[in-house]
Amino acid sequence: MRIKVRHGKRLYKQMAMEVAVRNPERYPAILAVFAKYEGQVLDDKCILEIYKDLFVYKAVDSDYLDVDNSTEDDIREFIKAYCKHNNEWGFPTGYQAAFTRYLKTLSELGFIYTQYNDIIGISEVAKALLNNEIEVAEAFALQCLRFWRKSPYRRVLNDFNYFAFILRVLLKLKENNKSLSYPQFILSLFSDNGNIDEFLQQIQTLKLGNDIDAMYDYIVNNYGCIDELHPKVNKQQTVVNDYGNTVFRVLQLTGLISVENKSGILLLSVNENRKEFLQFLLDKGFSISEEAKESEELYFEELGSLSATLKSEVVAYREKESLVLANYNAILNKVINDYDITEAKIIELIRSITNDSKEKLFWYIQKPLKLEFFISILIYLKYGNSYIVKPNYKADDKGIPYQHAPGNVGDINVTSSSVNWLVEVTLIRNKTQQFNNETADCIRHLRQSNHSTKYLSFVAPVVHSDTIEFYKNATIGMILEDEENCYIKAYGIDDFTDVTQKRINFNDMQAYKEEIVNTMRRKFS
């Protein structure tokens, strides 16, 4: 029997989302696991199976669990023993309540319906995303513009769409060639009613937009305990780095904003590349009924619907954006100029990722995407005068990436009229996961090229022996298929940056293939 959730009194609160999933790009993988259980009752047994699969399919992980060396029973026992939380969202204390951290944001954005002891629902929007009919940024842009603060999931009095509010603020600022600082963004999370003019007047009057400590003090003094409707403000770490950071990352994933770091100040503005798409979504005037604000079922039905017309309209804006992004070298050059990036500096930035050291300049980009970004810049610095360097991640109008390349293309293409050099980049260190996820698809992407000469560099922190053997065999396979001008090699990150700095990538891959061929000759002789 479904447990009826006991809701507390509605209050005005800071805009917040679940903080457990720091990288919202992980949500599609989490969603794919939920989709396997559509139509099943979310009881204790089902929760345990979904939780187990979240680990098995690497949608989530833990420093205390070696998934590849654990049986499914081992994973279940780990979950029951170590994944615990006090009762929440109607889920009882234990692994059941801990499980809610992976369903909260997906529920609030209308992707899934997941109530304890009730049937699991997967929305039309979620299915379109999982079937590659719409992209991650498109799905999150659409759902963020449909999201509503006052809902059955959040007992707040703030009765408006926060994302529509903050994006309209950015549009207003853009009219005067202004941006929103990150501290001002944090202040926006405390808006009671989404009044744009009121908020703009507020930040103009304050004139402390770049000082995060002063902004926090202002929030405490004005939103701490003004009256019975305003609860005490959380500590600064929670307000800024937990709640603020999570909302910011979801907003960035929509691709509707641009981000730049000027002298240590993070500035937000409207992404000109997607401004038409943003205006289209705003003009839709999405809202939810009063009944849906009190009912999880109705909320899911209203937010998760996706007509064929709406889907085609969303996808149509993708083509307009791709035309804007056609000058790839110019985009990379802009980043290099804006941030004074030299060869030595980009090598240092790449090492900061592999050494897990804190990097302040691009802290807001998730590490796997950041590595693609940095590798693209390094390649451009060395080859940009002779080749088109095309990273396939999604980037804003400042050249800052916000989403990985779609699954049907490679990470980075370096091309001329006759040469296509595909560079596949990963931070995956796990042996099994690297072999399963980063091999066959890379060769498929290489085969899609019509260039007369093809190169493939696979780049990872550590390249495991199985992966090396796979690429050796792929080279032999290409030879047998009369693909003579095809060169493949797997590199550790340090080795790759070394040959790239020396600008000998093509020679190195040619020499590696010759070594494989000579070894075959000796074997057969």
Q: Residues 372-393: what's their mean pLDDT?
A: 95
pLDDT at residue 210 greater than cutoff 60:
yes
Which DSSP state fits 461?
S
Distance between CA atoms of residues 306 and 10, nearest Å: 30
Domain residue spans in the chain?
Answer: 24-316, 326-524
Distance between CA atoms of residues 169 and 101, nearest Å: 30
400 within 8 A of 260, measured Cβ to Cβ: yes
For the chain, state the CA radius of gyration. 25
Which residues neighbour 395 within 8 Å (Cβ) at sequence distance 6 or greater? 325, 331, 401, 402
pLDDT at residue 51 greater than cutoff 90:
yes
pLDDT tens-digit readout, 211-254? 899 999 999 888 876 455 556 788 899 999 899 999 999 999 99
CATH topology of domain 326-524: Restriction Endonuclease (3.40.91)
438 within 8 A of 458, measured Cβ to Cβ: yes
Distances in Å between the Cα of 155 and the Cα atoms of 7, 100, 164, 287, 294 are 7, 17, 20, 17, 9
Between 142 and 475, the higher pLDDT residue: 142
What are the two backbone dihedrals, phi and then psi, of residue 467, each rounded to the nearest 5 degrees? Answer: -65, -40
- The structure tokens listed for 314 are 């969303």
State the pLDDT at residue 318: 84
Percent of the chain with pLDDT over 90: 69
pLDDT tens-digit readout, 329-373? 888 999 999 999 999 999 999 999 988 778 889 988 988 899 999
Which DSSP state fits 141?
H
Say how many residues make up the chain: 525
Name the residue among 180, 192, 183 with its Cα closest to residue 150.
192
> H helices of 123-195, where?
124-130, 136-144, 162-175, 182-188
420 within 8 A of 449, measured Cβ to Cβ: yes
Angle between helices 367-383 and 328-338 in degrees, nearest 10? 100
Distance between CA atoms of residues 429 and 489, nearest Å: 17
pLDDT at residue 4 greater than cutoff 60:
no
State the pLDDT at residue 351: 92
Which DSSP state fits 484?
T
Distance between CA atoms of residues 6 and 90, nearest Å: 8
Residue 287 CA, chain-centre distance (Å), reads: 26
- CA-CA-CA-CA torsion for 189, 192, 198, 200, nearest 10 degrees? 0
Lowest mean pLDDT: which of 284-288, 311-315, 356-360?
356-360
Distance between CA atoms of residues 433 and 58, nearest Å: 8
State the pLDDT at residue 440: 79
Distances in Å between the Cα of 444 and the Cα atoms of 187, 422, 456, 481 are 47, 11, 11, 14
Q: In 10 A of CB 203, how many CB atoms?
A: 21
